[in-house]
């Protein structure tokens, strides 16, 4: 077995019988948890700085190893696999978890200070080791056409509701973006109450949007839930 193949089998999420990979997974989970600890405190001390530097070094090595072995993960992509990994979901998450801390490793990375706002994205690295999230991703892939249709329906209704409200409530909505914002929070039945209609027609449109929002939000929930149950059944029989 080649070195690259061995590294690939270790860094990939482990099966139950893969001892080396299980150890690596647990080590990475500890590093991810440790990298999040400083974010829970407003003040920074020497321990937190050291912890951030140590964990980001681990994340950089992990990212480079996954990039180096990308062609083993995406075998059908051939050489394109080395471009596919950086733009995959977890490739982007891995990169964003590294960039915020690069300024702490060296002053030469001042360009990446903008990404310091994204430090909380490190928590997304936990998802790689979540079997439930893997199932949900499989469901989304299988039901992508139905979910895309729901997204188009929701987007169309948001645009239509915003356009109507922008016309009937010119005093309440200064810009069309305000109307879009109102339509989104109404469709999702959040309703912050910072922007609201005052005329009778506007209130009727608002009530209609709220009722439609319940139906539209329920559609993707039902699709994903049904697909999730099918995935669980498929795993059980396999």
Identify the pLDDT of residue 16.
Answer: 66
Token pair, residue 176, equals 């069309």
Task: Judge contact between 220 and 150, C-beta under 8 A.
Answer: yes
Tally helices (H) and strands (E) across the chain.
11, 0
Identify the pLDDT of residue 119.
Answer: 66
CATH class given for the domain over 141-237:
mainly alpha
Report percent pLDDT > 90 for the chain: 11
* Most confident region among 14-23, 102-111, 224-233 by mean pLDDT: 224-233
Task: Judge contact between 179 and 165, C-beta under 8 A.
Answer: yes
Q: b/e string for 196-230 if b means 16 or more Cβ within 10 A?
A: ebeeeebeebbeebeebbeebeebbeebbeebbee
* Residue 65 to residue 122: CA distance in whole angstroms: 18
Domain boundaries along the sequence of the chain: 3-129, 141-237
E strands along the chain, which residues? none
Identify the pLDDT of residue 134.
Answer: 81
Residues 6+ positions from 50 with CB-CB distance below 8 Å: none
CA of residue 75 relative to chain centroid, distance: 25
pLDDT at 107 over 80: no
At 141-186, the pLDDT tens digits run 888 899 999 999 989 988 998 998 888 888 888 889 988 988 888 8
């Amino acid at each position: 077995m080649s070195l690259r193949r061995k590294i690939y089998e270790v860094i990939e999420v482990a099966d139950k019988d893969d001892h080396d990979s299980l150890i690596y997974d647990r080590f990475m989970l500890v590093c991810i948890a440790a990298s999040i600890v400083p974010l829970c405190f407003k003040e920074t001390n020497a321990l937190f700085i050291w912890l951030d530097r140590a964990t980001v070094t681990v994340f950089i090595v992990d990212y480079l190893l996954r990039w180096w072995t990308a062609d083993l993960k995406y075998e059908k992509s051939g050489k394109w696999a080395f471009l596919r990994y950086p733009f995959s979901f977890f490739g982007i998450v891995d990169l964003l978890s590294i960039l915020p801390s690069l300024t702490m490793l060296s002053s030469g990375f001042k360009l990446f200070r903008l990404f310091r706002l994204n430090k909380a994205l490190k928590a997304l690295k936990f998802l790689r080791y979540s079997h439930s999230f893997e199932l949900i991703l499989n469901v989304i892939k299988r039901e992508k056409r139905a979910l895309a249709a729901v997204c188009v329906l929701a987007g169309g209704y948001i645009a239509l509701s915003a356009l109507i409200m922008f016309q009937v409530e010119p005093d309440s909505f200064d810009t069309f973006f305000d109307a879009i914002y109102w339509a989104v929070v109404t469709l999702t039945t959040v309703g912050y109450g910072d922007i609201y209609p005052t005329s009778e027609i506007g209130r009727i449109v608002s009530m209609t949007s709220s009722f439609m929002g319940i139906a539209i939000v329920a559609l993707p929930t039902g699709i994903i839930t049904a697909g999730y149950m099918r995935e669980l059944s498929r795993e059980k029989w396999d």
